[in-house]
Structure formats: structure tokens, C-alpha cells
Structure 1
Amino acid sequence: MRTAYSVETVRAAERALMARLPEGALMQRAAAGLAAACADLLGRVYGSRVVLLVGSGDNGGDALYAGARLARRGAGVTAVLLAPGRAHASGLDALRRAGGRVTGADDAEGPIARADLVMDGIVGIGGKGGLRPDAERLAGLADRSRAAVVAVDLPSGVEADTGEVRGAAVRADLTVTFGTYKPGLLVDPAREYAGIVRLVDIGLELPGEAELEALQHADVAQLLPSPAAESDKYRRGVVGIAAGSARYPGAAVLAVSGALRGGAGAVRYVGPAGDAVIARFPETLVSDAGPAGAGRVQAWVVGPGAGDDAATVAEVLAADVPVLLDADGLRLAERDAVRGRTAPTLMTPHAGEAAALLGVRREEVEGARLAAARELAAAYRATVLLKGSTTLVADDGGGAVRVNATGTPWLATAGSGDVLSGLAGSLLAAGLAARDAGSAAAHLHGLAGRFAADGAPAGAHDVAALIPEAWRDVYH
């Protein structure tokens, strides 16, 4: 599992470690890892041209010490100082002794244009509000150059704790981060600026709960249900799907397709699309008696393609089993009905639906996804799976938010969310907690989308068909 910690926690851990180490030792550890990562990216250090963009803080010191290491290996290193009077003195001295050059921001255009690698040491993890104009100009020069751009700890201009980008920021090809991941490296929109992220262990001891968790294959494999020898279809769990309408029967079919591949032993369907569902998936238990008359279920999925069927949404929310609320169900559900539930609720909005529920503009959700997921979970006393290029799963009780990035932009296709809802609902019925069901479903759904697309367009039905392959993949 990858974990990300807040700036406050990281700084406290750094202070504790520095108190036990000789002065400057921690920065040297970071610089050694940074220089090694740059050397790997360059391939051949001797004769390469490296430009350091150096701010006034420790981030600039890391860059200077790393630049000195590269200079001692034969690289031509030029440090561009944004604040010459406040650059890290010892790091600057080390670079000069190693044969590096120093220049000001006004003379940076030529060195950057000729560089093989540009190292971004402008602003550290405490940076807020985007880059200042002089730094923005240098970042633009680096972006337009042929050089590989390496960010020190995180790209300058992005906000470490939130993943927000409130102005101009460096776009890195590689980010070398120290001690632990920072939330902004795992959450969009900041994640898009980080490129590949490489973690360097500098010996930090990080107490307490992380801000963010990113499950890996092994973590998901431990969550997924597996039938025992004595299992039957009912012991494995039954998921109810209340979805579709005369206008959108396909939503029901797609939700069922995800549910059938999600680990539950049986799928019950209620709604007006029964004929379409049974024609495509004859193993489905179809009922026209409504949720209350469908038979026993261990979880419900309600809302995909439901149109204006508020009565069914309300009936499902009144059930004393876990409920996944999606699509039209999010719009039709009474807030107090969700908040008043004692059984778990998993809400699965995209950014537009989350914005409508929070009463803000979509752009506000997209720009501050982590805050939006947490706020929505608290407001509805539910677990929220906020869909997007990075999917976030937040619990109403706080704690670490789960983040998933296994997907592909090709998943932005009609019906993909219906498949995800059925898959997550099936995992709920199989006994997973709402946070685990949402996290595992997002991971599998993203993998299935990647397998289905393989660099080309894919439909939602293609994604559903490859969920078993994604399931097998997490075990290998």
C-alpha cells in the first residue's frame, strides 16, 4: 500500500530525525537519492547538461547538493538562483566546489534551452497559490525545452496537502519525493503535473494515520471475497439492482453485468428493464414486485438510469442493508433519508453530481477533489466514491482517504459508471465494508478498463467482460 502524509506530519518527522543526525545529514540523504534518480533518467551523466532552478528554501538546497553530486560525475551543472541572497549557502558552496556554475534568472534562457535535464527546486512542500511571475517564466522555459524535468519532492506550484493547483506550476516528467508520498502527488489535478513519482527512503518515522492510501494489487487481493467449500449462492451474498427505466434500459443491463462479476452469489433485478436484463443475462433473478417483494438481499444498488423514479429510491434507502446510490439515485434521494440510515451507504458521484449535491460549481470540485469527497461524506454521513481520473473513496468518519489510479481515460464512456456500481454493490453484498467495496471495485474497474481499451476505444460492456481478467490479475 502506498501512503501519503500531511505536510505537518512530514515536518514533525523530519525534525525528530534531524535531532538524532549530524547537521545536514538528512539533506544529504535526500540529495543522494535525487542525484541517483537523475542519473538513471539521464543514462549517461558525464557530458550531460543539467540546470537547477533554485529557490530560497531547503528544496533549493536539495537541488544544489544533488547538482554537486552530478557535477562531480562529469555533468555540466548550472544553478539558476531565483533569490541569490537567500539561496542555501552550504549547498551553493558544494556546487561551486564541484565545478558548477551559478547564474541569475535573467540569464536562464540559454542554459535551459541547451539542457538535457532541468531540476525544479523552486518551492518545497509548504508552497501555496501557484508560482510567482519570475518562477512561472522559468517553468515555461523548461516546459518548452527538450530537457527532462525533475521535480524535487513535488512540482513547484502544486499544493502538497490538497492536490490543488491554484496557478502556474511546473510540469515534471519525474518527481523524486522524500520519506513518504504527499497527497498532492496522488490526487488530481496535481498528480497530472508530477509525472512518474519515485520515492526515496530517508529514514522518516511517520506516526499516526496517513492522509491518503493507494491500494496495490496485494491489498486488493486480501479484500476480495473467495467462496469456501461449503458456500452456496446465498451464503456468498445476493445483490439487488434497482435500475433502468423505459428510456434507459441499458443502464440496468450494464449494472447487472458488473454485479454478476463482483463476487456475490446471485443478482436480483427489479425495475422496468426486466426483459432486457433476462435476455442478456438469464442467470439474473428478475422480479416485478419492487424492492420490498424481490426477496432477501444483502445489499442494494439503486439509481443507474432510474429517471424520475423517486419512490423506488426511497424504498431502497429504507432497507436495513448496505445501499449503493448512483446516478439518478443521487439526484432523487432525500438528504435526510441518507443521513438517517443505520446501514452503510456508498455514494458514487462524478464531479458534476458531487457539485450539485454540494451546491457548488463543477470546477470547484475538480480543482479540490480531496476536500470535496471529504465534505460530501460528512454532509451525507455516507462513504463517497468520487469518480474521475483518480477515484477517491472517503468515509464520513474521517480517516485516510483511498485513492485509485488504475484506470484509463478511455473509461470516460457511457455506461462505465453503471458497471462500476454493479461491481461495487456485489462486493457490498459479499460482505465488504463500504470503504473496502468502493476501493476494490474502483481498482478492478480501472484495470478492466485498461485491459479493454489497450490504447483504443472500448464500450462499457467490454469493460464488464474483462472484470474477471482484472480479478485474476490482482492475484499474480
Structure 2
Amino acid sequence: MEDVRAAERALMARVPDGALMQRAAAGLAAACGQVLGKVYGARVALLVGSGDNGGDALYAGARLARRGAGVTAVLLAPERAHAGGLAALRAAGGRAVDGSGPAEGVGGGAGADAALGVVARADLVVDGVVGIGGKGGLRPRAAELARAAEESRAVVVAVDLPSGVDADTGEVRGAAVRADVTVTFGACKPGLLVDPAREYAGALRFVDIGLGPELAAYDPVVEAFQYADVDRLLPVPGAESDKYRRGVVGVVAGSARYPGAAVLAVAGALRGGAGAVRYVGPAADAVLARFPETLVSAGPPARAGRVQAWAAGPGLGDDGDRLRDVVAADVPVLIDADGLRLADAAAVRKRVAPTLLTPHAGEAAALLGTSREEVESGRLEAVRELAGRYAATVLLKGSTTVVAGPDGTGAVRVNPTGTPWLATAGSGDVLSGLAGALLAAGLGARDAGATGAFLHGLAARLAADGAPVAAQDVADALPAAWRDVRRG
């Protein structure tokens, strides 16, 4: 987050003292008012640390108090609370209590009980404990108050980001505040977009405090694709298009044991806009029974006919011969599932044409020689390391799907679509075919991965509509997702 800090310092040098904090507080107070609905008579508890986030909370609390809310600041470090903010709160009719008492089970006292009581009775709790510089989990007393907020009936609003989460990586290394809403200022912090921190952030509200021109000098750490980004990249046939100009994708998937993987990968490729799909493998009968338009071949892939890209790996079992043939091809290649286990890392690194790897957390852990838990807790680091190690673009699937370019540096693209119902067998096979079709249409590996993940997640939302879905349902919903993006 050094770029954000530098941008704030540059802007503060050009505006009156305290202007940025007042802008942040105004946006925070407005968001709190929207959450409450009726401000007058509402009970608001501010969890106030010693940093600027505590100052933001105090000034916002003063604004709410002037609108008739009963506002109490729980000061975790009373001697270091923001003096101006605390004075403003008291002048507006708010009050403060000492919240620095011992953690539960280590004593207690009137001050400690008063602080917990304020939180328990609140309609709204504002988390201003620590800011973007915080590392590690909350200290015991702050953790106790955060638990009380979570257990209360109050809506919890975090200032800039939930206290206890890592702003840069999205990691949560200890106790942290679970917010219903996070009001973030100036720039969306990377950690707010990536699980596990994203789960703690709740709904995101962005407040523009004027950092845009200052941040323009810095490259983003993460990018969250939006409808307009995907719409710009979607391949649309022209009047002169034929199936070859639209892109022919080869699919190397399935086996005698897993024919369904081939069917689902072909489904994703056909629904992903491919002009034609060539299937190479032992599941040809199953593929043709479902999709008679597929061009099938017994192989090897090098002799199957012209393709503009290959998607390989789902359901291959231990058939490494077809995969080696694909890795040696001079067209873009997507490798997924069993293909990740079978692929020779040195051969992948030597490829000149683009390569897109699409592991889930367990597969990524196996490739990195670490645990699944480490990958899931540090997704940004894991996807960058894999991309650098294999000199390939990597799409790391999961509750937050992230895409990193082949050198492991630059902005990681974070997918904002999806639904927990997407955690179903075969959904990754559909994504493989879909992203392979986008590669064949001419998209770069990073664009194909990010666009494919967006459409895949959106299709799952449309297909599920709050109910369970199967992988084929996701494939069938891809045209609807495509139309939804084109309509904006």
C-alpha cells in the first residue's frame, strides 16, 4: 500500500491541513446514514484506535451526532486518540469511554464492562481500530470488542478496511473484524478484493477523496474486471467471418474413465464462441452424442487438423502422450486438471506461444510444493509465484479467482463474478473449454483467462438464481451471460 500512502502525502501537501480526513469522514458518515436509514435516535459505537482510521471514525461520529444519533467512542488507546476528532465528537454531543481494559477472562472492571455494553447495545458499530498499515491479527482487547460487535445485532461498518486483515494481500493472520460494509477511501485496497479478506469486508462502498491524479503515476497491484472491460474484449464475428476466422479450438480431454470431462470441455468451447471445436481422445462417442457438430479425431493432436489454440487436461487420467504433443504445438495452449500434473515444467517454460495454466488451490499447492491452506490464505503470492516459475499466465481458481501474467509481476486480475453454487464437479472443465475458445479467437492469455472467468462466474449466477446447478447448466447459461455483458 506504499503507493496509496505516497499519493496521500502528495495530495496532503497541496490541500489544507486535515482536508483529506474531513473528506473521508464525510463519505463515511453518509454511508453510515444510508445503512441506518434513520439516523435520529440511533445508537452508534465507534471502535477507535490510535491512527488516522480512528480520526476518520471520530469525525464521522461527530457528523452523525449532529444529526441526532447517540454516538459513543470506545477508545482503545485513550491517550493516543485523535485529539481533533475526539474534540469534534464531544462538541457535537457525543461521548467517549475507555475501551483499553483487559481482555475477557483477564480481569475486567467498570471501564471494560462499559465498553462492551456500548457495543452490545449499538445499532451501528464503526470499526476504526487500525488502518492499512496494520499487520497480523487484532490484539486481545480489540479482538474481544470485535467479537462483541459480531455477536450483537448491530450493523458493522469498517473504515477503509476491516481491522486485522492485510491490505496488500488479503491475508487474515489472526482475529479480525467481520464487517457488513466497508467504506474505502481513494483507492480500493487489493486485500478487499481477495479472499479470505474479501469475506470479512462485506459490501464495498468507495469514497473518492481526490487521489485519482496522484495514483495515476503508479501501476495498479490488482485489477477487478468490469462489464465494460469484458465487453471490449468479447470476439464478435463480422460479415466476412467463417468458422476458421472465428477460431478453431482443439480439446484434449477425457478418458475411458472420465468421458464426461471431454463433454463438458467441448460444451464450454462451443458456448464460448469457437467457430469449430476439434476433439482428440477416447471419448469421441460421448462427445458426438451430445454435440454432433464437434470435429473428432483419434489423434495424435499434431495430426488432428488446424487449430488456433488447444485446451488440454480435464479427465486425461495418466495419458501424457497427448499432452506432450499439445505442449510442443506452436499455438496458444491452456493446461488444466490432470494436465497440470502430467506437464513437464521445463517444456512449458520453453514454449514461445502463450500458455495459460488453470489450477485450483489444491493443484497449485502440489505444483508449488506447499499446502492448500497456504495457497488459499495467500492467493496473490501463490498465483504470482506459479506464473514466474512456469513462465506462463496462471488463472488460480477458487472463491476468488485471480489471473497473473507470465512473469509474475504487474497487476493481478481479480474476478468479481461467481457464486458458491459454482463449487460443483465439472465446472472447471467448462471453464477450460471456454477460455480455450477465447484463446483461439485471438485473445491474449491474460485477457482470455480474465474474460473466461468473468463469463463463467456470471453464467453460474444466472443458472443458479439461488439454487444448486450442475456444470452443464453453467455451460448452457454462457450465451445468456454473453448477452448480459453486451447489454452492459
- Please tell me the TM-score bracket, short chain as reference: over 0.9
For the residues of structure 2 that align with 1:290 and 1:243, how far apart are their CA atoms? 13
TM-score scaled to structure 2, two decimals?
0.96
- C-alpha displacement at 1:280, in angstroms? 0.5
2:376 is the counterpart of 1:369: no
Question: Match of 1:379?
Answer: 389
Conserved 8 A contact 2:225-2:416 = no
Question: Match of 1:469?
Answer: 480
From 113, 116, 125, the counterpart of 1:109:
116
- C-alpha displacement at 1:405, in angstroms? 2.4
Q: Please give the residue correspondences for 1:295-314 in structure 2 after superposition, counting only pairs within 5 Å.
A: 295-314=305-324
For the residues of structure 2 that align with 1:128 and 1:394, how far apart are their CA atoms? 24
Amino acid at match of 1:360: T
Amino acid at match of 1:110: G
Amino acid at match of 1:351: A
TM-score scaled to structure 1, two decimals?
0.98
For the residues of structure 1 that align with 2:179 and 2:476, how far apart are their CA atoms? 36
Question: Match of 1:179?
Answer: 186
Question: Match of 1:359?
Answer: 369
Question: Match of 1:162?
Answer: 169
Conserved 8 A contact 1:389-1:405 = no
From 53, 64, 68, the counterpart of 2:58:
64
For the residues of structure 1 that align with 2:462 and 2:72, how far apart are their CA atoms? 44
Q: Percent identity?
A: 77
SS at match of 1:68: helix
For the residues of structure 2 that align with 1:400 and 1:440, how far apart are their CA atoms? 15
From 400, 404, 411, the counterpart of 2:415:
404
SS at match of 1:108: helix
For the residues of structure 2 that align with 1:258 and 1:113, how far apart are their CA atoms? 50
Q: Please give the residue correspondences for 1:165-244 in structure 2 after superposition, counting only pairs within 5 Å.
A: 165-204=172-211, 205-206=214-215, 207-244=217-254
Question: Match of 1:430?
Answer: 441
Conserved 8 A contact 2:383-2:394 = yes
Question: Match of 1:135?
Answer: 142
Question: Match of 2:260?
Answer: 250
Per-residue CA deviation, residues 70-90 of structure 1 (Å, 9 max, x unaligned), is: 001110000000000100111
For the residues of structure 2 that align with 1:208 and 1:12, how far apart are their CA atoms? 10
SS at match of 1:35: helix
For the residues of structure 2 that align with 1:98 and 1:431, how far apart are their CA atoms? 61
For the residues of structure 1 that align with 2:297 and 2:375, how far apart are their CA atoms? 38
Amino acid at match of 1:410: W
Conserved 8 A contact 1:53-1:118 = yes
Question: Match of 1:344?
Answer: 354
For the residues of structure 2 that align with 1:46 and 1:406, how far apart are their CA atoms? 37
- C-alpha displacement at 1:311, in angstroms? 1.2
For the residues of structure 2 that align with 1:299 and 1:8, how far apart are their CA atoms? 40
From 286, 310, 315, the counterpart of 2:296:
286
> How many corresponding residue pairs?
470
Where does the alignment leave 5 or more consecutive residues of structure 1 unmatched? Answer: 1-6
For the residues of structure 2 that align with 1:240 and 1:296, how far apart are their CA atoms? 9
- C-alpha displacement at 1:390, in angstroms? 1.2
Amino acid at match of 2:197: A
Conserved 8 A contact 1:80-1:104 = yes
Question: Match of 2:39?
Answer: 45
Aligned alpha-carbon RMSD (Å) = 0.6
Amino acid at match of 1:344: P
For the residues of structure 2 that align with 1:376 and 1:330, how far apart are their CA atoms? 12
2:131 is the counterpart of 1:124: yes
Amino acid at match of 2:449: G
Conserved 8 A contact 1:392-1:401 = yes
- C-alpha displacement at 1:451, in angstroms? 1.0
Where does the alignment leave 5 or more consecutive residues of structure 2 unmatched? Answer: 100-111
